[in-house]
Homo-oligomer: A and B are copies of this chain.
Amino acid sequence: MTLTLEMVKEAQSRIGSHIIKTPLLRAHALDALLGCEVHLKFENMQVTGAFKYRGAINKILKLSNEEKQRGIVTASSGNHGKAVAYGARELGIRATVVIPDTAPPFKVKAIEQLGAKIVYSSVTERFDVSERVAEENGYTLFHPYDDDDIMAGQGTMGLEIMDQHPSLDTVIVPTSGGGMLGGILTAMKESGSGISILGAEPAAIPRYSESLEHGERVKVESRRTIADALVSAQPGGRNFPVVQKYVDGMLKAEDASILKAMKMLLMEGRILAEPSAAVGLAAVLEDTYIPNSDEKVCFVISGGNVGFDQLRQLDDVSYVI
């Protein structure tokens, strides 16, 4: 089975009362800096502070009563784990989150505070560990992106974007495993929208750029990036075909540009985004993509879960207004 528009629409009906229809707003203060008409989709204001809740709550709501009673498990570098833990608590379900040692401590703390059980693992073994935990305990496994229910939930953002601003020219989506990008592409392209949709990923882990070039899912080296939510080494098996079929292009950005974009969003746009959420703006700052000056570009601000100490990373970042 492949993700369909119908599945995204069903997800929208299912999760509508559980999620926030986040604002899609103009950010005039950023126009000159990015060289286009800047629009932002504020998923940093979503429940649990990131788009991940859309997918997590969709899958949770689809569980049978028996599955709910047994419990759920997931592997996550932070935001997906928080979303699963929050959704589980909302419905009184036991949740375990396998956390890679690359996850920022404040994200781990947030998951613990929501009552989930934490299991630590290396970043490369996290999916194996979560599968083992699932088998041993009879838990339902929540993959963070390689899952049609997760993708359908995340794709609801695409329906919202078309509803909120149908005359956008371009949408730029932070990308890791490809759940959000695949979901948004399915929602918008299968609705017949002519809006161009681009993915953006850290240059340190260019799994989609490489995979699209090779025409198959490539596993790239897992290098460090400031974009701690975009660390998948390979596109998801269910996500890649969708992205390959529909995406209008992939952009890459270096960490230095990601920090610069994050600081611009904060100090000029007055919006707190986590580094991963700034990757699309960073790609435009690097001229990886050069929009026309009157192009209506919507950047998906995918999350806002930042530790206060992380702002120190912006101390020496400068830009010219």
Contacts of A45 in B (CB 8 A): 25, 27-29, 269-270
User: Roughly how many angstroms separate A11 CA and B315 CA in the complex, as a whole number?
Assistant: 41
Complex formed: what's the CA distance from A27 to B271 in Å?
Answer: 13
Q: Is A266 an interface residue (CB 8 A)?
A: yes
A42: B residues at CB distance < 8 A: 270
- In the complex the two chains form, is B267's CB within 8 Å of A270's CB? no
14 cross-chain CB contacts under 8 A: A27-B45, A29-B49, A44-B270, A45-B270, A263-B308, A267-B272, A267-B306, A267-B308, A270-B271, A270-B273, A270-B304, A271-B272, A308-B315, A311-B311
Within 8 A of B (CB), among A231-274: 263, 266-267, 269-273
What 0/1 pattern do residues 296 to 321 of A give for CB contact below 8 A with B?
A: 00000000101010010011000001
Q: Which has the most chain B C-beta neighbours within 10 Å: A23, A26, A308, A315?
A: A308
State A266–B306 Cα separation when bound (angstroms). 10
A47 at interface by CB-CB < 8 Å: yes
- A32 interface residue (CB < 8 Å to B): no
A interface, size bucket: 20 to 34
In the complex, which residues 51-78 of chain A have their Cβ closer than 8 Å to any Cβ of chain B? none
- Give the docked Cα–Cα distance between A272 and B315 (Å): 16
A91 within 8 A of B: no
Q: Which residue of B is nearest A314, CB measured?
A: B308
User: Apart from A263-B308, A267-B308, A308-B314, what 10 extra A-B contacts exist at CB < 8 Å?
Assistant: A23-B25, A25-B45, A28-B45, A42-B270, A45-B270, A49-B270, A267-B272, A271-B271, A271-B272, A308-B315
**In the assembled complex, which residues on chain B have CB atoms less than 8 Å from the CB atom of A27?**
45
Does A20 interact with chain B (Cβ within 8 Å)? yes
| Chain B proximity mask over A176-190: 1 for CB below 8 Å, otherwise 0 | 000000000000000
